[in-house]
Chain A
Amino acid sequence: DTAVSQTPKYLVTQMGNDKSIKCEQNLGHDTMYWYKQDSKKFLKIMFSYNNKELIINETVPNRFSPKSPDKAHLNLHINSLELGDSAVYFCASRDIAGGGYNEQFFGPGTRLTVL
């Protein structure tokens, strides 16, 4: 069973479109993250939710809107896509109850290409 899954795996779209990426974890973790990995492979955190509550909100354009319907799911909606949004987006999860000493688990990534 896949621990952290993302859909779609690949997403190719035109500038100006709106798209969503979905993430699900079956590990029973209370915290989920979205990361962006750019063309230079640098991984940067975007958002994090703990039990459906936003706890990390980095300096990200407000065209990006995360949503967590429950603690096992975290979605990312992107409005008015731009060329610079092309990247690989990773979802991760972790259990931070008790002090946050536990490891993160990552999904396989969604490769977004904006044309």
Chain B
Amino acid sequence: KQEVTQIPAALSVPEGENLVLNCSFTDSAIYNLQWFRQDPGKGLTSLLLIQSSQREQTSGRLNASLDKSSGRSTLYIAASQPGDSATYLCAVPTSGTYKYIFGTGTRLKVLA
């Protein structure tokens, strides 16, 4: 059974810092992993989708890495800004299905 954990649960950093969010999953037989951002009271916005054959995916100041063998993904945010404040969620599929399991999220606050 796929389980997804995100650490830390909450993070507060000063503006300009580089930071790393972690996502761990128990079943490494995944075909991709998706990172989302959720602003308070809003829906989820897709940030990055990383396929199982990839080790990294980049979009602007965001970089996601994937290590299937160790069951880990990291989301690196460079030069953080107050506008990055949100909850970040990772999601992975369960083996052999199209069902995605979500992590509990990391609540990020970037202080101006």
Whether the pair A103, B44 counts as a contact (CB closer than 8 A) is: no
Q: In the complex, A90 Cα to B38 Cα: how many Å?
A: 12
User: How far does the Cβ of B22 sit from chain A's closest Cβ, in whole Å?
Assistant: 17
Known contacts A106-B43, A108-B43; decide if A45 and B100 are in contact (CB<8 Å).
yes
Contact A103 B46 (CB under 8 A): yes
Chain B residues within an 8 Å CB radius of A108: 42-43
Judge if A100 is at the interface, Cβ distance under 8 Å: yes
Taking CB atoms, residues of chain B closer than 8 Å to A55 are 98
- B43 and A43 within 8 A (CB): no
Q: How large is the interface on A (under 10, 10 to 19, 20 to 34, 35 or more residues)?
A: 20 to 34
The complex places the Cα of A106 from the Cα of B89 at a distance, in Å, of 13
Query: A90 vs B45: C-alpha distance in the bound complex, in angstroms?
Result: 12
**B positions within 8 Å CB-CB of A:** 31-32, 34, 36, 38, 41-46, 49, 51, 87, 89, 91, 93, 97-102, 104-105
Q: Enumerate chain A interface residues (CB-CB to B < 8 A).
A: 4, 31, 40-45, 48, 50, 55-56, 90, 92, 94, 96, 99-109, 111
